[in-house]
Structure 1
């Protein structure tokens, strides 16, 4: 069954057209990530789904219900914000139960839901603490718990990990993935971080300038990007692009090569100077500059490449990508 359906959804703020003919279906139990650079419209799209912004045109269905005119509180959604949005004067238990009390749920139902959410999120020992007594990661878990107890039709996450440090982001990302498996719930997650998108999503929606560039599973988008924008956005380090005429004179197209598909070879078709080396232990990232064109290599293991060396570069054409002058994928 479809959990969410968007048909020709547009949103304008005055003369500024922010969302342009968005079409999307989210299946029940699916984890969908909206990803794209700042200003692409992903958070606005989430707010339109939530009802915090009105669509200028188009239809929004949650389950079988058309919800364009339905207020946020009655859409059957729960939203987790980047800022946590916890009430500082309420302890963890009361932050989690407030919406249920306002909905006049019984004490038995409230207690059971809080107990279950607290167990899932390892919050049982913090129920009597206040937000000021919690770490950033604990506050975010409380915000997620507050959403869980409502048992919504649809969970909406708006860049929930942006305020956390790198290690905590990874841990909380794992917790959200585990939570999705436990709840088997429909979730939509907004991020600008392609690593979060690749590691969490069943389906990724790549947005640019208010339009959907491509929809697919993480590996579908990584292996078969529709255009140069998607190819360059997904992957860390990002895909290298080089004018095809550096290899085939007169060719106006662009070649894309993943960093892991570039190798150092004395008889390679390209050559340049090593300008930067990142020793990561298990991997080594090497930046080689060809005239004014930096190229990134991702080498497995540890390597003794030195800054200032001139090296040749080789790649398997079968693993490269070709884009036309408009950035559309050719092969």
Structure 2
């Protein structure tokens, strides 16, 4: 079991409030991702769950039991950091089994647990190596394996893919998703990368300035955002925001996803400022009269000339309407 509950959790450093009354429920076995821009409080919130930061007010509970005053080692939590935090003089096997050894676990049980984790992470052939002999992706797998052998109630990941190159990030992301399916464990994952959030999460928590802006399944946030912040943060390329009044609409702001903005038509006029041909899709950036820079996303290869005049249109049923404060009009 590993259900997590946060009730009016706050964190203050002196007179500065960095976490401002967070309420959250994470079900047993759920993969929950904290996402938001730098400084939004996502890593601080994760460290509070881990016991590495004190809670200024409110309550954190695992399976209904309050853990505010428990030491990190007593919380049945395993954490995977951005830095691998491996002991350089130890082999992969010894790094993975260290926590169990320190807990006095019999050698046979340690060997069984490390072998099981190694098999899950394709580390079998690397168990006698030291960290210096491993690639970045292999080191991160060892760090994940070290967490697995402890069989915690909660896995906490703090931007674990940030030090990997693009190809390894995709590969390791797939491995983490597979591990979640196999282990059925509760996982809390912090990232600033909304692509990681969309592809991994059962539930996304969008944070801004220490507050929860919206909680929901990835596609629910994408298709039904509560405000312009969530609408602009979830989705890559991000949503276009147009001036509703300039289009003769009642809403102050109109949101259109790049894939729902259509070339041709007379509703919006502009000029192409840049084109990115990505093979499977083409992105055209259009400097639009009255609306600023807009992004147009099209399937396949499309040809546009820089400074070409281009009219744009959109399906009104695909548009999102927001008021002057950025709140969704439904």
Instruction: Give the shorter-chain TM-score range.
Output: over 0.9
**Matched residues in 2 for 1:304 and 1:325: separation?**
36
Distance 1:66 1:97 in 2: 29
> Is 2:324 the counterpart of 1:321?
no
Per the alignment, residue 53 of structure 2 pairs with 53
Q: Aligned equivalents of 1:189 and 1:239: distance in 2?
A: 24
Aligned residues: 329
CA offsets 1:3-35 (integer angstroms, 9 cap, x no match): 100000000011110001100111111000000
1:299, 1:268 → 2: CA distance? 18
Corresponding residue number in structure 2 for 1:239 = 239
Q: Give yes or no for the alignment of 1:161 onto 2:151.
A: no
Question: Aligned residue for 1:104?
Answer: 104
- Match of 1:268, SS state, is strand
Could you list the runs of 5+ residues in structure 1 that have no partner in the other structure? none
Alignment of 1:36-115 (within 5 A): 36-115=36-115
Is the 8 Å Cα contact of residues 159 and 190 (structure 2) preserved in structure 1?
A: yes
Segments of 5+ residues of structure 2 without an aligned counterpart are none
Distance 1:298 1:263 in 2: 8
Deviation at 1:248, TM superposition (A): 1.1
The equivalent of 1:174 in structure 2 is: 174
Cα deviation digits, residues 86-117 of structure 1 (max 9, x gap)? 11111111100110001111112111110110
Question: Deviating runs (4+, > 3 A) in structure 1?
Answer: none
Cα drift, residue 272 of structure 1? 0.3
Number of the residue aligned with 2:185: 185
Aligned to 1:305: 304
Q: Does 1:260 align with 2:259?
A: yes
Give 1:64 deviation, angstroms. Answer: 2.5
| 1:26 matched residue in structure 2 | 26
Q: TM-score, normalised by structure 2?
A: 0.98
Distance (Å, rounded) in 2 between the aligned partners of 1:57 and 1:305: 56
Structure 2 residue 207 is the aligned partner of structure 1 residue 211: no
8 Å contact from structure 2 (residues 206, 230) kept in 1:
yes
Q: Call closer, same or farther: CA 1:158–1:279 in 2, change over 3 Å.
A: same
1:8 matched to 2:30: no
- Conservation of the 8 A alpha-carbon contact between 1:155 and 1:187: yes
1:288 pairs with 2:323: no
- Aligned-residue Cα RMSD (Å) equals 1.1
Aligned counterparts of 2:300 and 2:64: Cα–Cα separation in 1: 52
User: Match of 1:269, SS?
Assistant: strand
State the alpha-carbon separation in 2 of the partners of residues 317 and 91 from structure 1.
60
In the aligned structure 1, how far is the partner of 2:209 from the partner of 2:64?
A: 29
| Matching residue of 1:135 | 135
Deviations 1:131-174 (A, max 9, x none): 11110000000000000000000000000000001111000000
Q: Answer whether contact 1:2 1:25 (CA < 8 A) is retained.
A: no
2:328 is paired with a residue of what secondary structure?
coil
Aligned equivalents of 1:64, 1:150: Cα separation in 2: 21
Q: Which residue of 2 aligns with 1:272?
A: 270
Deviation per residue, 1:186-240 (Å, 9 max, x gap)? 0000000000000000000000000000000001100000000000000010000
Q: How far apart are the structure 2 equivalents of 1:285 and 1:167?
A: 22
Q: Is structure 2 residue 195 aligned with structure 1 residue 195? A: yes
Conserved 8 A contact 2:2-2:185: no
- Rounded to whole Å, the distance in 2 between the matches of 1:304 and 1:53 is 53
